[in-house]
Amino acid sequence: MYDHLRRGAVSGAVGGAVYGLYVALVGAPVVEYAEHLADHGAAAAGHDHAGAALGDGLAGAVSVGGSAALGLVAGLVVFGAVAYVVEPALPAVGGSYLLGLCGFLSASAVPWLVLPPAAPGVEPTVSATAGLTLYAGLAVAGATACVAAGAAFHRLPGRAAGAVGAVAVFAAVVGGAVFLAPSVAYEGSVPAGLGTAYTGVVVAGQLLLWGAVATVHDRLRRRPRPTATAAPTVAD
Amino acid sequence: MPATNDTVSDRIAAARTTVSPTRLGLGLLGVTLALFLLVFAQEPLVHEAMHDGRHVAGVVCH
């Protein structure tokens, strides 16, 4: 149990560091550029930015450190505690990546079906509290769908039927949640190219986060001890 | 990866014996607090400090 938590924490710390670098070098500059544009357009009336109360540098550092901390939390929870419990149900090869995919789907992809990422300057018409509550609710729905899909896979006979059943269950749970969720309108606009690029940066960032944590977790897998002293293998 | 042929229920049972309710509570509290501070806190100072990070993570909120 504590071995699993330690492994999850190490994966999360490394993955979080990689993701923090990404936020610092790629994400934050894009956000600030989009905000710069929004400020000079008509759409940005009445909203505060990072750096209004804090120095820009401090806010930037907190954002980067906080993003790295999110990676650590993701590692501890998903790749530590959850991994310990669901490990017997995961495939022996690629289980870490399956966990990472579930993390990405729950924490990002499912909430995005209702609240897609939008560049600064395009904002949902609901209040921040309502938006965040909705986001959290959809993340819980996503995690539920992942667990239900796994359960369906193991209850159906055969891999093919299991896979089809798992996808169907996942789609049903997520579809139900999206159907029940209030639809959210967005207002404001940014240049089309910027909006697309921004979405790309956000999606790539989350894939990088979960991918990095999953890769480290996979590498830390306890391999059977080699019986003979094997020649050092070429890094694959 | 599993060296032993245990099941998910075995793992839950094992976790119950190794993790005391106090530790579980503290763990859950810590994770909740971290997530709250990083993503969901509305306190302006905290909220603004994580502003860029939240945007990059695709959490749209204001």
Q: What is the count of structural domains for chain B?
A: 1
Contact flag A48-B48 (C-beta cutoff 8 Å): yes
Out of A75-79, A81-85, A191-195, least confident range: A191-195
Contact flag A73-B31 (C-beta cutoff 8 Å): yes
**Assigned domain for B3 exists:** no
Query: What's the gap in Å between the CA of B24 and the closest CA on chain A?
Result: 10
Q: At A123, which helix (H) or strand (E)?
A: strand A123-124
**Assigned domain for B2 exists:** no
Contact flag A23-B35 (C-beta cutoff 8 Å): no
| The pLDDT of residue A226 is above 70 | no
For residue A67, what are its two tokens?
């993003």
For residue B15, what are its two tokens?
């976790």
Helices (H), chain B: 8-18, 21-35, 44-49, 51-56
Give the three-class secondary structure for A31.
Answer: helix
CB contacts of A76 in chain B (<8 Å) are 31
ipTM for the predicted complex: 0.84
Contact flag A70-B60 (C-beta cutoff 8 Å): no
Q: Give the residue numbers spanning the domain of B25.
A: 8-56
Q: What confidence tens digit (pLDDT) does each residue in A98-140 have? A: 999 999 999 999 999 999 988 888 888 888 888 888 999 999 9
Gap between the Cα atoms of A37 and A123, Å rounded: 14
**Assigned domain for B50 exists:** yes
| The pLDDT of residue A86 is above 80 | yes
Query: What's the gap in Å between the CA of B55 and the closest CA on chain A?
Result: 7
Residue A1's CB: how many other CB atoms inside 10 A?
15
Q: What confidence tens digit (pLDDT) does each residue in B11-48 have? A: 989 888 888 889 899 999 999 998 888 887 777 788 88
Query: What's the gap in Å between the CA of A70 and the closest CA on chain B?
Result: 7
Contact flag A67-B15 (C-beta cutoff 8 Å): no
Answer whether A34's CB lies under 8 Å from A119's CB: yes
Instruction: Write the DSSP assignment of chain A as a string of letters.
Output: -HHHHHHHHHHHHHHHHHHHHHIIIIIHHHHHHHHHHHHTSSTTTT---TTSSS-HHHHHHHHHHHHHHHHHHHHHIIIIIIHHHHGGGS-TTTHHHHHHHHHHIIIIIHHHHHS----TT-EESS-HHHHHHHHHHHHHHHHHHHHHHHHHHHHSSSHHHHHHHHHHHHHHHHHHHHHHSPP--EE----HHHHHHHHHHHHHHHHHHHHHHHHHHHHT--PPPPSS-PPPPPP-
Contact flag A58-B7 (C-beta cutoff 8 Å): no
Gap between the Cα atoms of A228 and A110, Å rounded: 47
pLDDT at A193: 85
Gap between the Cα atoms of B53 and A229, Å rounded: 46
A-B CB pairs within 8 A amount to 148
Block residue for tokens 């404001």: A188
Indicate the pTM of the whole model: 0.85
Contact flag B52-A131 (C-beta cutoff 8 Å): no
**Assigned domain for B21 exists:** yes
pLDDT at A45: 44
pLDDT at A44: 43
| The pLDDT of residue A41 is above 70 | no
**Assigned domain for B28 exists:** yes
Chain B residues whose C-beta is within 8 A of a chain A C-beta are 1-3, 5-8, 10-12, 14-15, 18-19, 27, 31, 34-35, 38-40, 42, 44-45, 47-62
Q: A110 touching B, CB under 8 A?
A: no
CB contacts of B19 in chain A (<8 Å) are 1
**Assigned domain for B62 exists:** no
